[in-house]
Amino acid sequence: MKPLQLPVAGALLAAGAGLVFAATASGQGLDTWIAVPTAVAPGPRGWGEAAFDAVRDRFVLFGGVLQSAAMSDTWEFDGREWSLRPTANAPSPRWAHRLAHDFVRQRVVLFGGRDTNGFFDDTWEWDGVAWTQRSPATVPVRRGWHQLVYDTLRGLTVMIGGSNDNVLSTSTVLVWNGTDWTDLSPPPGSSPFPLTDHGAAYDLVRDRVVVHGGYDGTALRGDTWEWDQTSWTLVAASGPATPGALDVPAMTYDLALGRTVLFSGYRAGFNSDTWAWDGAAWQQQAPISAPPQPAGLTPTLTAKFDVVRGRVLLAVSEGGGDVSTWAFGRAPYVEFGHGCPGAGGTPSLAACPGSSPRLGTTFCAAIDDLPATNDPVFMAFATRVASPWIDLTGLGLPGCLQFLPNGFGVQWLVRSTPTRADWVLPIPNNTAFLGVRFANQAIAYDPTVSSALPLTVSNGGLAEIGP
């Protein structure tokens, strides 16, 4: 990440309808990771697991373990903020379970996992309100450290591999149709199994389940296999042009970029590498920014694709800290936090549809739900997000937060409708600006606010300029 200097330093100048950058550093254009700022997040845990609910637009995280104490909490991330969901009935505390979202049936499916007493063989589903335990006629062998992926074309949840009590499962491929499990395990010698602690993803475009790495009971594996719903094929042997031998990587299919993305994994310690598989070869990525290398032996490390915003989401808890949330993509713009209510509702800041901060383009961010007046609207911008966020209650604006540090720049905006304004940012086609970051937040005058400062503010945004 490159610093973006404020106007007082002469590197960012207000100019007409947008902003003009001036820079001298050189950079490299790459897909990158960006941390989503959050005020509240799931607490420290190892081996928690998440799924992205594409229907409800929620990243759902369940369970984990902290100092041998299993957890059973359910959290949801709405693209801006985490919230703890109350659950009267939930799976028992556990870790090493797996989740996948059944798009057709609109349920998050959970299978297995373990606690200090052993492993589970139960199937649960989350509908956004409550957990329901299912009672299939076929009960798979209890296990943990398996994988669940969703076969979108067939409407099936696919379970792959796993182990219990250091015994690798012999029922290696099962599918869940919402009612029962069906065992599709291949004969010995025709697949990567037995296998546990591996990564897996479903490639929607090529209609393949991709599996990499894992542990086979003797050693770590570094080969890559694909399943076409009929047979398994070894598509890449372990080598220097692959992620290599490792286990428990975070892995998901990136529909926006048309490839499977793998992050980290364990081999004599965790790494912070990012790789991409296009169906023919692995390519190591060199993102401008990346999540920190997970620490310890049991981090939470789970990635899923956010189909609403077209980005990979990663939840990682390392070094005993809270779960941090990261987005991966080209020229990412992430929204975070919340605005405070005004006469038109709560102002909402988001990228205009189809817009991202790329070289040689004009980036657009829209502010909706503004007070329906002709009063001024401003866009505040800065080099970074304030830490901590600044509570504006003392200024007579309870519930309002300032997400930028003091000293931010401000630009007057012209409304496109009575309740909306657009902010446009021309970005030069100059590689010196690759990796430059900026944060923004909208401010609107609102005469209905009873305060010495009659204002309302939006949520925040954070961007990194890409190619």
Any idea what the CATH number is for the domain that residue 390 is in? 2.60.40
Q: How far apart are CA 73 and CA 157, in angstroms?
A: 23
For residue 136, being part of any structural domain is answered with yes
* Assessment of whether the complete model's pTM goes beyond 0.85: yes
Give the Å distances, CA to CA, from 23 to 12, 358, 359, 408, 430: 9, 15, 13, 19, 9
Instruction: Establish if 1 belongs to a structural domain.
Output: no
- Say yes or no: 290 and 431 in one domain: no
Q: Supply the pLDDT for residue 24.
A: 34
Of 282, 305, 329, the position where a domain reaches its end is 329
Q: What is the DSSP letter of 40?
A: S
Side-chain-side CA neighbours of 84 within 13 Å: the count stands at 12
CATH of the domain at 48: 2.120.10.80
Across the 467 residues of the chain, what is the mean pLDDT of every consecutive 10-residue run? 31 34 40 93 95 97 94 97 94 98 97 96 97 98 97 97 87 95 89 94 97 95 95 94 96 95 93 96 91 80 93 84 92 94 91 94 96 92 95 92 96 94 95 92 91 91 93
> Do both 144 and 246 map to the same domain?
yes
Residue 255, pLDDT score: 94
Amino acid found at 187? P
Last residue of a domain, one of 301, 329, 357: 329
Closest CA to 448 of 392, 375, 368: 375
Are residues 231 and 311 located together in one domain of the fold?
yes
The tokens 């310690």 sit on which residue?
Answer: 269
**Considering only CA atoms, which of 466, 430, 363 is closest in space to residue 26?**
430
257 and 354 both lie in a single domain? no
266 lies in some domain: yes
Residue 271 resides in a domain: yes
Backbone angles phi, psi at 9, to 5 degrees: -95, 0
Are 348 and 270 found together in one domain? Answer: no
| Residue that finishes a domain, picked among 311, 329, 347 | 329
In a shared domain, residues 429 and 322: no
Per-residue confidence (pLDDT) for residue 10, from 0 to 100: 27
Judge if 159 and 190 occupy the same domain: yes
Residue 233: count of CB within 10 angstroms of its CB: 12
Residue 240's domain spans which residues? 32-329
pLDDT at 7: 30
Is residue 2 one of the residues assigned to a domain?
no
Tell me the sheet residues that pair with 150: 157
Closest CA to 112 of 143, 76, 91: 143
Q: Say yes or no: 83 and 150 in one domain.
A: yes
Query: Residue by residue, what is the 3-state secondary structure of 199-254?
Result: EEEEECCCCEEEEECCECCCCECCCEEEECCCCEEEEECCCCCCCCCCECCEEEEE
Are 260 and 253 spatial neighbours (Cβ–Cβ below 8 Å)? yes
What is the rounded CA–CA span in Å between residue 210 and residue 395?
54
Residue 247 sits in the same domain as residue 371: no
Residues 73 and 129 in one domain: yes
| Residue pLDDT, tens place only, 215-253 | 999 999 999 999 999 899 999 999 999 999 999 999 999
Domain-embedded: residue 168: yes
Take residue 10 and report the two structure tokens written for it: 């002469």
Whether residue 192 is found in the same domain as residue 111: yes
Domain co-membership, 213 together with 88: yes
Which residues on adjacent β-strands are paired with residue 420? 417
For 162: left if phi > 0, alpha if psi spans -120 to 50, otherwise beta; the answer is left
The domain total for the chain is 2
* Separation CA 220–CA 243 (nearest Å): 12
